[in-house]
Structure 1
């Protein structure tokens, strides 16, 4: 009790004593001493009681301060609202959570802090609480909008309290935004692992499988329940060296990530390749508790790589053993690549040709201009003939088939092509032309022509002498068996046709003399001889024969 308060009480006591009058009885000395003693004792008791009251008042004040501290600085937000939803009391924690000064929150509707999309949920919950239902026992998750526009998620616990004739609701709000964020991250991580296109295996520190995702089942054929608790070695195909797995354990037990390409075996016994990456997982103390293996199916890539390697070997073999010469030049005409076959065709080795301009090998360098002109005009040339000079000085006729090489901007950067020595072919063609000339001369002298009919395509070929005998222009006459019959005298057509058909049936040659009906009604007699060639199954392939003008013999007879 303060000194000011004590003086005030003393004055009030003296005033009451004066009002009552001084009726103190006469007392002996002994009685006075006893009274004084009693008064002093009572005074001490009062002082002790007063001290106890002061101590109790201090403890009560300290308790109020502690409660205020606990209330204001509790880890959860506290708020008391009226039955109208107005804020009556709020602690500093909730004030900080909402980002609003406590004084500005008083008498404000609590629902103004509830996110718009959840205002209906809060209204129904509050209504149930005010009715005194069981809603108070059910926590509610709500999203609140802070002063800065951000959102927080909290678990709200409510308690309906009767204060005299007034009902209030006390709420506690536990911020779970962090937990919700962690839950969402865990959900995303779980979904990413489960939906990953790569197979994921999680084992304990001893290698026993604790988890596999759906991609593992698709890849290996094993369902999760078939492998949980087992060791991943059940996937081994027996195709990998034992040292591979020893290396794996040495690395991952040392805390290092290990990557390799592994050939595994599916549940159905088929083999597959995967690129595996295994990493250790550690606890807070740095101890390895689990291993995570990520497997990516590379079976198709391995197959394609094998085919590519095989194709490369075939290409290399073709490149090194081809008879024709493949070459490539830059845009200035310098040879940048050429096959080893250049030695046989030109007498030069690859080393002697690379870097030199192709014009140096032409019998006449100006002969390259027509080739370049056609290349730049059409983008390619086919069977373009040029004359090149071998190392020994011999000229050879060469066929060039090539194309322009273009960059991304479609600008020429070089030429590539195939060179084929056709000197022998050209000589053979010349000899054939000489032989054909002689044959044609012999046919003219003997008045004998030859023909051939392809029975699959109905393509008919006549020699020049046959056209002369039939007196037809090769440029104007369309060759076919039907048009041939049109040239036969109408009275002989059936006999000619019958003789040909019969020879196909009997597979025997035939000879027939018949007339031709020429322009102006003139008649010419011919002797036709024919034989046919048959396949092993008896099908006729083609027929060939001769036609001889025998008009003079008929006239003489």
Structure 2
């Protein structure tokens, strides 16, 4: 074998013999004749083989060192800039390690947060819950994962909701550590709160309808069903045009949607038709719901009794 390998493992006699063999093959052209060789020539050959062997070993060690540095750098970037925060807590609940993501979440410099008690990063009203969870995790024999949500405290006094994923670890001396991954779930909590409020409002006494951006019905409430006679299963996926009474001309609906598209809102009296064919008047308020990009995602219609329909 005349080519030098890219990598060589240094764990065993056989590997060392292989390296020796490769070194000898590389200096084969200067090998002394075994019969005529003088002792000094044999010694020179051995020294040359050993020199080549050392050069090969140094090259492989250099490559191994570079690979280790690259792996370390990759791990450093993955750890420091992970999409979640990583914090390591000692058995005394002191922060011993923290990545940049977690520092950003807490709005704190790493130098100021290392050796800080982790409970100090939690709002006072949630600290008892943390203490109970921490003691329970650290006292368990099995290193099971534990997850729970807490409201955490930033250095500037603001707060955020966090999902904590905790795993107990043990270092060489047997001391337990707690590795915590932190995900900011503030937007999720806000969305849940908004949905809860929306659900309460949606089930109000006023008939309500929610459509998608294409004006196809996604949901109606019980008051709508009671008022029109249509069950939710009958109207979901349909456009509200089935409510038209025939009392309004095209210009009426055209002006309605022009107002909605321009201002995001319309309200006025309207004649509609129930499932049983009864025509009745009511007051309708339509609001366009937009996302963060300004695109319309839904339309919400709220109906109320009126005797002033056009």
Q: TM-score, normalised by structure 1?
A: 0.42
Residue in structure 2 matched with residue 127 of structure 1 by the alignment = 135
CA contact (8 A) 1:252 1:278 kept: no
CA contact (8 A) 1:136 1:157 kept: no
Residue in structure 2 matched with residue 169 of structure 1 by the alignment = 178
1:97 pairs, out of 90, 105, 113, with 105
In 2: Cα distance, 1:219 partner to 1:134 partner: 59
In 1: Cα distance, 2:188 partner to 2:157 partner: 20
Structure 1, unaligned runs of 5 or more: 1-27, 306-557
In the TM superposition, 1:142-181 aligns within 5 A as 142-164=150-172, 165-181=174-190
For residues 478-502 of structure 1, the C-alpha deviation after alignment (integer angstroms, 9 at most, x for no partner) is: xxxxxxxxxxxxxxxxxxxxxxxxx
Aligned-pair distance for 1:193? Answer: 4.2
Aligned residues: 271
In 1: Cα distance, 2:96 partner to 2:56 partner: 41
In the TM superposition, 1:225-264 aligns within 5 A as 225-238=233-246, 240-241=247-248, 243-244=249-250, 248=253, 252=257, 256=261, 261-264=269-272
In the TM superposition, 1:237-386 aligns within 5 A as 237-238=245-246, 240-241=247-248, 243-244=249-250, 248=253, 252=257, 256=261, 261-267=269-275, 270-276=278-284, 292-299=300-307, 301=308
In 1: Cα distance, 2:122 partner to 2:223 partner: 43
In 2: Cα distance, 1:37 partner to 1:173 partner: 62
RMSD between aligned residues: 3.7
Aligned-pair distance for 1:84? Answer: 2.0
Residue in structure 2 matched with residue 200 of structure 1 by the alignment = 209
In 2: Cα distance, 1:179 partner to 1:57 partner: 44
In 2: Cα distance, 1:95 partner to 1:283 partner: 30
CA contact (8 A) 1:154 1:176 kept: yes
For residues 76-106 of structure 1, the C-alpha deviation after alignment (integer angstroms, 9 at most, x for no partner) is: 1111112221222222222222223222222
Residues 142, 292 of structure 1: alpha-carbon distance in 2 compared, 3 angstrom cutoff: closer
| Partner secondary structure for residue 177 of structure 2 | strand
Residue in structure 2 matched with residue 25 of structure 1 by the alignment = none
In the TM superposition, 1:532-547 aligns within 5 A as none
CA contact (8 A) 2:207 2:222 kept: no
Residues 150, 288 of structure 1: alpha-carbon distance in 2 compared, 3 angstrom cutoff: closer
Q: TM-score, normalised by structure 2?
A: 0.71
Residues 76, 295 of structure 1: alpha-carbon distance in 2 compared, 3 angstrom cutoff: same
In 2: Cα distance, 1:140 partner to 1:83 partner: 19
Residue in structure 2 matched with residue 40 of structure 1 by the alignment = 48
| Partner secondary structure for residue 195 of structure 1 | coil
Structure 2, unaligned runs of 5 or more: 1-35
In 2: Cα distance, 1:286 partner to 1:149 partner: 31
